Amino acid sequence: METVLQKLGENLKQLRLEAGLSQEKLSERADVDRTLISSIEHGKKLARIDTLVKLARGLGTPLSTLLDGVN
């Protein structure tokens, strides 16, 4: 069973790659530090809700898509 951290990280990475963005480019678009994006994608850190909103906006996707399957 996947943890919340793992699923969120997988979702973020998949959406980022589908959008054709590097971590650096998403970092610029979302105004979020690139190292935080990496930590989230690797399941090492859980982001605050405001950070998740910024990431979703940077990806051009609804927050619900980023959180899909995270429970």
- What per-residue confidence (pLDDT) applies to 42? 96
Q: Are 11 and 69 in contact (CB under 8 A)?
A: yes
Torsion sign, CA atoms 16, 21, 25, 28: negative
What percent of the chain has a predicted confidence (pLDDT) above 70? 99
> Is residue 41 assigned to a domain?
yes
> Is residue 28 assigned to a domain?
yes
- What per-residue confidence (pLDDT) applies to 18? 97
> Is residue 71 assigned to a domain?
no
Q: Are 66 and 40 in contact (CB under 8 A)?
A: no
Q: Which two tokens stand for residue 22?
A: 């590097």
Total number of domains constituting the chain: 1
Residue 12 is part of which domain span? Answer: 4-65
Q: What is the pLDDT of residues 4-33, one digit of tens each?
A: 999 999 999 999 999 999 999 999 999 999
CATH of the domain at 32: 1.10.260.40
Question: Is the pLDDT reported for residue 2 higher than 80?
Answer: no
> Is residue 11 assigned to a domain?
yes
Question: How many residues appear in the chain?
Answer: 71
Average pLDDT of span 28-56: 97
Q: Are 12 and 65 in contact (CB under 8 A)?
A: no
